[in-house]
Amino acid sequence: MPDRETVLVAWGVPEAARIIGVPYRTFRRWLMDGLVALTFHPRVQPQERARLTVADLAEAWCIADLRRAGVSMQAIRRILVRLDALQEREQRRLTDFKAVLVDMGGQVIGVHDDGVHERLQDGQVRIDLERLRRVLAKTPGEPVPSCWLDVLTLREGFACA
Amino acid sequence: MPETVADVLTVQRFADLFARVRRPFIVETPETPWRTLKNSLTDGMLTAHLLHGDRTFGVSLDKRHGSGRIALNIALEVDFGKREEPLAEVFPRILGEPGLAVVMAVHDAGQDLRIPETAWCVSWTGGRSLHFWLTPREPVPQETAYTVAQAIREGVDARIAERDLCVCHAWPTNGGTGKGMNIRLPWGRHQQTGQVARFVNLRDGALDLRDPFPDDVEYLETLERNQLDPEVLRTAATLARHLEPVRPVRPSRTRPAAAQATVESETAGERIERSLLMQTRRIARPCILNLLENGVPEGYRHDVALLLRSELVHCGLTPADAWLVYRRYMTACTPVWEEADARRDLEANWSKTDPALRHLCPGRGDPSPVTRYIHTHCCVGAETCGWRRAAAALVAWNDHLSVDATALYLTLCLMETGHCEEWAPLRPGDTIHTTAADLMTRCRLGRKDLERARADLREAGLVEYRPTGRPDGAGTSTGSRHSLYRRIIPVPDPPAKPDPKS
């Protein structure tokens, strides 16, 4: 769960699609399919105006970068499902790990600690989140309604064990 | 007994159910107590365990998988006597009334998490213990299994505490990344007592032992058929997680000191919510739940029972569900209310109980002594009460509502409890008189968003909304149209499978 500071501002779906460089309709489909687990919207409802936090954007950015690097959608879904099992919780995020390594056999390793560089091999995709931060600095988001933070608090109560 | 092909197949079927992790394992012989061996448990050893009885084996129920761990079974152990007690004294308790109570407690605790009774397999160890096994069809993450095991353990402990019994171990014993304890396999010989372990049947309200191996081989078929769908365990883990943090943690910026001062009573209510999951989620009123934990002194017993009963009728509980809650109240009272008397009170008055008589938080005027007693001893504070009412309803609806609708529902719950209000607190489902402008200010939502959220809640059957005949805004600071909002109680269940593409 992102800290409270990062959820104070959020971006609408058209704006987010523009930021990560994906067509709006494609991006909307990703959200409806639950490919990106959104902070405020566990499941995007029809007609709902979804908002994305910085963490959501980072996740979408990773997926978009993987797509641009030629990774198939099927492979991405497989990775996310395996990450799901690794993290043993329902909300999966690529960005929860320091690095995610996927070998030729499809084996997924989530790396929490440092020492990522020692484990990297040729041909792996590196995703630059720093570039996203630079883009976001130029496109500030809008503050979310304060009641949304209350909803988030309520949901934290459901999820934390 | 000669080892035939059928025996080999039986051993494999047995291993597929109970000995899915072969390394390391534990072994006990008549001469040596349990010791751990690092090599792999072979089919030959399992055959010796089942047929010869000269060695008894135990296995781990979890193992490493990738960078995490998975659990292959869930198990509980309940001891019915001390180690030094002779078996002849302990055994009647195992198959007698205490044993039956434990089996029922395990079934009930499982049902709280929607685990069917048929999924449980009960095994007498040959000594002073019963083992309860749940076998998922496929392995589940260890943390999931651990969460379920601990929730069931707590549920069982709460139910059998008055008999001086408890769950001694719950497998997997480790919820993190570590390895857990081993457990003795069923059907082996208990080396201390010399008795052969057997499975236990619950038949006609009594426990009886099944035949020993190999006469009971066909029971493996039943066990294979009753293996649990991993999805059921995942649901159970989700339910178990939802139970624990009943009171959401709010940032201190808006938390009043009065609410912080009630931590002790909240903890008591949460314990009840863990042991009576489905019923308490429907009641969703912390003061009533605290009442079940704390009970009342003799002079208040019947008057408070009337308030409790009317709350249960209002929440749409069936008499059978209501009895579980009533029984809890009965045992919490000082002195304990006699069961026959309590049952008579419930059964005789259930059909004529008026839900309008529910406990009303004291507001204006002079409250009755019973109301004052409940308010003094069981109230958790307006804000906390509002949050817990919302949490109980929304935990099931989390994936089905837009964030605006969730926020509006939470606001209505907080308004119900009169948090920051001049009016007296309302009961769940009482009518809230307000205006759209007031709600927009409270939720910080625009008009269109509010209307959409309101329509969502109405469509979901969670809230009723009715504009009044006073469109002029008279009497309101904002000058807008008056409306009546009412949360629908009992809270309906969400649709089974929402289609994200619909």
- C-alpha B184/C-alpha B60 separation (Å) is 9
Cα dihedral sign for B81, B103, B169, B214? positive
Both tokens of residue B25?
């394992």
pLDDT at B330: 86
> At residue B324, does pLDDT exceed 50?
yes
CATH number at residue A152: 1.10.1660
> At residue B247, does pLDDT exceed 60?
no
Q: Where are the alpha helices (DSSP H) in chain A?
A: 13-20, 24-32, 54-68, 73-87, 116-119, 129-138, 146-159
Neighbours of B422 (CB within 10 A): 6
* Number of residues that make up chain A: 161
Amino acid identity of residue B464, one-letter, is: E
pLDDT at B1: 44
pLDDT at A95: 66
- The pLDDT mean for chain B works out to 81
Least confident of B8-22, B173-187, B287-301: B173-187
Find the angle CA(A60)-CA(A61)-CA(A64) to the nearest 5 degrees: 85
In this predicted model, which residue has the larger pLDDT, B478 or B102?
A: B102
Beta-bridge mates of residue B27: B35, B57
| Contacting residues of A for B247, CB less than 8 Å apart | 157
Element (H, E) at A12: strand A9-12
pLDDT at B245: 35
DSSP letter for each residue of B77-91: EEE-S-TTS-HHHHH
Tell me if B398 and A40 make a contact (CB, 8 A cut-off).
no
Tell me if A40 and B390 make a contact (CB, 8 A cut-off).
no
Query: Reduced to 3 states, what is the DSSP secondary structure of residue B399?
Result: coil
Q: Give the best residue of A150, A155, A156, A160 to mutate against chain B (max B CB count within 10 A).
A: A150
HEC string of B246-272 equals CCCCCCCCCCCHHHHCCHHHHHHHHHH
pLDDT at B254: 34
pLDDT at A126: 66
CA of residue A148 relative to chain centroid, distance: 19
**Closest CB to B407 among A42, A150, A159:** A150
pLDDT at B197: 92
Cα dihedral sign for B388, B393, B397, B401? negative
- Which of B89-94's residues contact partners 24+ apart within 8 Å by CB, and which partners? B90/B128, B94/B124, B94/B128, B94/B130, B94/B207
**Closest CB to B68 among A47, A86, A157:** A86
> At residue B248, does pLDDT exceed 60?
no
- Mean pLDDT by runs of 10 across the 161 residues of chain A is 54 93 92 86 84 89 85 81 56 61 60 55 66 84 83 69 29
Least confident of A76-90, B355-369, B416-430, B450-464: A76-90
Q: How confident is the model at residue B272 (pLDDT cuts 50, 70, 90)?
A: low
B300-314 in b/e burial notation, b at 16+ Cβ within 10 A? bbebbbbbbbbbbbb
pLDDT at A65: 85
Least confident of B150-154, B160-164, B456-460: B160-164
Contact status, residue A144 vs residue A40, Cβ threshold 8 Å:
yes
- C-alpha B158/C-alpha B162 separation (Å) is 8
Both tokens of residue B411?
């606001």
In this predicted model, which residue has the larger pLDDT, B65 or B250?
A: B65
> At residue B2, does pLDDT exceed 50?
no
pLDDT in tens, B409-438: 999 998 888 755 556 688 888 888 888 888
pLDDT in tens, B97-132: 888 889 988 988 888 888 888 899 999 999 999 999
Find the angle CA(B200)-CA(B204)-CA(B209) to the nearest 5 degrees: 20
| Portion 52-111 of B in contact with A at CB < 8 A | 66-68
pLDDT in tens, B185-231: 998 889 888 889 999 988 767 788 898 888 888 888 889 888 988 88
Contact status, residue B386 vs residue A127, Cβ threshold 8 Å:
no
**Closest CB to B249 among A46, A107, A153:** A153
Contact status, residue B152 vs residue B222, Cβ threshold 8 Å:
no
Residue of A63, A53, A50 lying closest to A20 (CA atoms): A63
In this predicted model, which residue has the larger pLDDT, B341 or B4?
A: B341
pLDDT in tens, B383-394: 888 888 888 888
Total domains in the fold of chain A:
1
* Domains in chain B: ranges and CATH: 5-239 (3.30.70.3300), 263-380 (no CATH), 402-487 (1.10.10.10)
Cα dihedral sign for B269, B275, B277, B278? negative
Q: Which residues of A touch B (CB under 8 A)?
A: 4, 32-34, 40-49, 82, 85-86, 88, 90, 107-110, 145-148, 150-151, 153-161
Q: How confident is the model at residue B243 (pLDDT cuts 50, 70, 90)?
A: low
> At residue B175, does pLDDT exceed 70?
no
Q: Which domain holds residue A87?
A: 4-159
Residue of B501, B425, B309, B25 lying closest to A28 (CA atoms): B501
pLDDT in tens, B75-90: 999 999 887 788 888 8
In this predicted model, which residue has the larger pLDDT, B277 or B191?
A: B191
Predicted complex ipTM exceeds 0.85: no
> At residue B256, does pLDDT exceed 80?
no
pLDDT at B275: 52
